[in-house]
Structure 1
């Protein structure tokens, strides 16, 4: 991730893989991305985090690069990728060029929304365009309008994570600023651990305009990694943008 708050990595790294487990969803995301990338191609993930999706992409034989601002998250990535198949950098993905000829650039789990201003989001999408080769694809997973705008008051939920742990999550959205804050309290054998995420919602039409400024055109939009069609009340949006031209 590329968090707005400095404490993001410190507070979230220990519980991130509990809240976002390495499940079938991560494998589906990797298959989706691999389907857009040549077998000998290159994928860059901005906000690579603990490598939840990236390790599965690397397992398909694609070359994988990533960047994240959290050293704690990257330490978890190294644990998950002991073979060193993934080249990961520590830094600000909105201001850093990882490579300049990627076949696919990925931002999963609303990572673009972790930037809390429209300006920072636009700068990041412009950076994506610069890192794609001609004909390359950008894959952006963002929060859907249904998830954001049905939260008219704070919402609290509880979920079992394992036989001896659970998470209590509280989320609150501010429609006027298009922002939301989620706090996670994980209870288990390790005691109480607390993490917090903040994000800015991006309307699909707003994201399309950002992509247009970066020279990218919309190729398709879905509500899931199986290419489910959006319904208008879906929790997430997966948008694929293409950079015009073809590889030389």
Structure 2
């Protein structure tokens, strides 16, 4: 924790990495699924569910951003921004600020600011934070992100090959034989591996952490597609 010294508004310095990540999260608020529901027409039960989902998906991102900012301001910043103002902005008491985050958030932010640790160690405590949110925080992070994306693409291609071999993507059976539509079966078994792009919506859940990949499939995919990535894979997964 910092020494507790609070500075004047003009004395507080916001690290570029912190500002970059938070701004990326704010941008992400408008890009996540589900899209904004249209106004109800007739029956409204489905609209209510869509509206709640729309609010919930965005609330999670903003909650993570608030945890990030509060943890940095209270535990790492030196001098710290005035805690009274920070608490008032959230409508809580100063003592309640500590409940906005936990120690894993603080450790992750130290890695972010000090350019240490892996991307997984930074994003893991924040449920809605992706590696792409860290883009442009440093050249080494950008390089790590590029390698992670290539790993994801190689994994996705290899995963599809394996799925086809065992029949997951086989043509749909006749209606009398099929229990569920093929698109539902596929959505349950796969992730969306699309690279993060501003303005793009993602129909499936994207993997955030390297630990979410099957190690054996990933190693086979890298061995076949780009063996030079194997060392990075082993280093980054061992760190977790």
- Return the TM-score normalized by structure 2: 0.24
**Larger radius of gyration between Structure 1 and Structure 2:** 2
- Return the TM-score normalized by structure 1: 0.24
Q: Greater share of helix residues, 1 or 2?
A: 2
Q: Greater share of strand residues, 1 or 2?
A: 1
Greater RCO (CA < 8 Å, at least 6 residues apart) = 2
